[in-house]
Amino acid sequence: MPADNLPPGAHAASLDKNTGTGTRPGGGVPQRLAQAALRDVPWEIGVAKPDPAIVVENVTRTFGGLTAVSVDHLEVQRGGITGLIGPNGAGKTTLFNLLTGFDQPNTGTWSYNGKPLGKLAPHQVARLGVVRTFQLTKALSRLTVLQNMLLGAQGQRGESFLRALVPGTWRAQEKANTEKAMDLLRRFKLDAKKDEFAGTLSGGQRKLLEMARALMSDPQVVMLDEPMAGVNPALTQSLLGHVKDLREEGMTVIFVEHDMDVVRDISDWVVVMAAGRVIAEGPPESISQNQAVVDAYLGAHHDAPLTVEEEDQVLAQAGAAIAQEEHGGGEVLGTDSTTGRTER
Amino acid sequence: MGDLLNAFAVAGKSALGFQAVFFALLAIGLNVHFGYTGLLNFGQIAFAMLGGFGIAISVTQWGWNFWVGVLVGLAASVVLALLLGLPTLRLRADYLAIATIAAAEGLRLLFRSVSASPVTGGTRGLAAFNGDFIALAPWDTSRRYSVLGTRWSGGELWVALVGWVLVALMCLLVWLLMRSPWGRVLKAIREDEDAVRALGKNVYLYKMQSLVLGGMIGALGGMVYVVATGAANPDQFQNANTFLAYTALILGGAARVLGPVVGAIILLFVVQFADTALRALIENGIIPGELLSSTDVAQIRFVLVGLGLMLLLVFRPQGIFGDRREVMLDAR
Q: What is the pLDDT of residues B58-83, one digit of tens each?
A: 999 999 999 999 999 999 999 999 99
Cβ atoms A144, A123 nearer than 8 A? no
Same domain, A226 and A329: no
Q: How many domains does chain A have?
A: 2
Does any CB of chain A come closer than 8 Å to the CB of residue B78? no
In a domain, A235, yes or no: yes
Instruction: Give the three-class secondary structure for B153.
Output: strand
In a domain, A42, yes or no: yes
Distance to chain A for B176, nearest Cα, Å: 6
B115 lies in which domain range? 2-331
Query: B186 vs A275, which has greater pLDDT?
Result: B186
8 Å CB contact of B195 and A140: yes
Which residue in B has a C-alpha nearest to residue A150's C-alpha? B181
Residue at A144 is within a domain: no
Residue A323: give the domain boundaries. Answer: 308-342
Residue B275 contacts residue B298 (beta carbons within 8 Å): yes
**Which residues on chain A are in Cβ contact (under 8 Å) with B191?**
140-143
Of the two residues B230 and B326, the one the predictor is more confident about is: B230
> So what's the pLDDT on residue A306?
64
Residues A115 and A38 in one domain: yes
Residues B144-173 have a mean pLDDT of 91
Nearest chain B CA: its distance from A172 CA (Å): 12
d(CA A99, CA A157): 28
Number of domains in chain B: 1
Same domain, A109 and A212: yes
User: Each residue of B5-46: pLDDT tens digit?
Assistant: 888 888 888 899 999 999 999 999 999 999 999 999 999 999
The residue of chain B nearest to residue A218, with distances taken between CA atoms, is: B199
Confidence at residue A31, expressed as pLDDT on a 0 to 100 scale: 52
Closest-CA distance of chain A to residue B98, Å? 25
Distance from CA of A55 to the nearest CA of B (A): 20
What gap in Å lies between CA A167 and CA A180, rounded to an integer? 19
Determine the residue of chain A that is closest to B207 in CA distance: A161
CA of B323 vs chain A CAs: smallest distance (Å): 10
Q: Do A230 and A276 have their domain in common? A: yes
Going by C-alpha positions, the residue among A216, A200, A64, A34 that lies closest to residue A133 is: A216
Predicted pLDDT of residue A338: 44
Residue window 65-124, chain A: list those with CB within 8 Å of chain B. Answer: 100, 102, 121-123
Cα dihedral B126, B129, B134, B135, rounded to 10, equals: 150
Asked if the C-beta of B190 comes within 8 angstroms of chain A's C-beta atoms, the answer is yes
Is A138 within 8 Å of B194 when comparing Cβ atoms?
Answer: yes
Query: What is the C-alpha to C-alpha distance for residues B160 and B21, in angstroms, rounded to an integer?
Result: 7
For residue A54, is it within any domain? yes
Sign, CA dihedral B144-B147-B152-B158, equals: negative
Is A172 a domain residue?
no
Which range, A94-98, B169-173, B307-311, is most confident?
B169-173
Q: Is the pLDDT of residue A335 over 50?
A: no
For residue B184, which residues of chain A lie inside 8 Å, CB to CB?
143, 147, 150-151, 159
By the CB < 8 Å criterion, does B317 face chain A?
no
Instruction: Tell me whether residues B329 and A142 touch, CB distance under 8 A.
Output: yes
Q: Are residues A104 and A86 in the same domain?
A: yes
pLDDT tens digits along A6-57: 444 444 333 333 443 334 444 445 556 777 777 777 777 878 888 888 999 8
Contact state of B191 with A156 under an 8 Å Cβ cutoff:
no
Contact status, residue B204 vs residue B70, Cβ threshold 8 Å: no
Residue A45 shares a structural domain with residue A124 = yes
The CATH number of the domain where B89 resides is what?
A: 1.10.3470
* Cα B38 from Cα A7, distance rounded (Å): 56
- A281/B110 Cα distance (integer angstroms): 64
Task: Output phi, psi for B12, to 5 deg.
Answer: -65, -40
Q: Are residues A331 and A226 in the same domain?
A: no
Position A8 scores a pLDDT of: 41
In a 10 Å sphere around its CB, with 0-12 CB exposed, 13-18 middle and 19+ buried, how is residue A11 labelled?
Answer: middle
The answer to whether B198 contacts chain A (CB < 8 Å) is: yes
Q: Do B198 and A143 touch (CB under 8 A)?
A: no
pLDDT of residue B168: 97
Residues A316, A226 share a domain: no
Q: Which residues of A touch B187 (CB under 8 A)?
A: 140, 142-143, 147
The answer to whether the CB atoms of B195 and A138 lie below 8 A apart is: yes
Helices (H) and strands (E) in chain B, counts: 15, 4
On whether both A30 and A129 belong to a single domain, the answer is yes
**pLDDT at B212 (0 to 100):** 97
**d(CA B199, nearest CA chain A) in Å:** 6
CATH number at residue A68: 3.40.50.300
Nearest to B182 among A154, A158, A199 (CB): A158
Whether residues A338 and A235 fall in one domain: no
Of A11-20, A298-307, B123-132, B301-310, which one has max mean pLDDT?
A: B123-132
SS (H, E, C) chain A: CCCCCCCCCCCCHHHHHHCCCCCCCCCCHHHHHHHHHCCCCCCCCCCCCCCEEEEEEEEEEEECCEEEEEEEEEEEECCCEEEEECCCCCCHHHHHHHHCCCCCCCEEEEEECCEECCCCCHHHHHHCCEEECCCCCCCCCCCEHHHHHHHCCCCCHHHCHHHHCCHHHCHHHHHHHHHHHHHHHHHCCCHHHCCCEHHHCCHHHHHHHHHHHHHCCCCCEEEEECCCCCCCHHHHHHHHHHHHHHHHCCCEEEEECCCHHHHHHHCCEEEEEECCEEEEEECHHHHCCCHHHHHHHHCCCCCCCCCHHHHHHHHHHHHHHHHHHHCCCCCHHHHHHHHHHHCC
Are residues A249 and A287 located together in one domain of the fold? yes
Identify all chain A residues contacting B202, using CB atoms and an 8 Å cutoff. 121, 123
Same domain? For A21 and A123 the reply is yes
Nearest-10 Cα torsion for B105, B111, B114, B119: 170
Name the DSSP class of B31: I
Of A141, A159, A214, the CB nearest to B181: A159
Nearest to B225 by CA among B40, B47, B41: B47
In a domain, A164, yes or no: no
In this complex, is the C-beta atom of B290 within 8 Å of any C-beta atom belonging to chain A?
no
166-185 of B, contacting A, C-beta below 8 A: 173, 176-177, 180-185
Pairing verdict, β B126-127 and A252-256 = unpaired
ipTM here: 0.85
**pLDDT tier for residue A294 given thresholds of 50, 70 and 90:** confident
Contact between B42 and B101 under an 8 Å Cβ cutoff? The reply is yes
Q: Kindly state whether residue A175 falls inside one of the protein's structural domains.
A: no
Predicted pLDDT at B17: 92
Q: How confident is the model at residue A2 (pLDDT cuts 50, 70, 90)?
A: very low
Count of other CB atoms within 10 angstroms of residue B227: 27
Task: Give residue A319's pLDDT.
Answer: 85
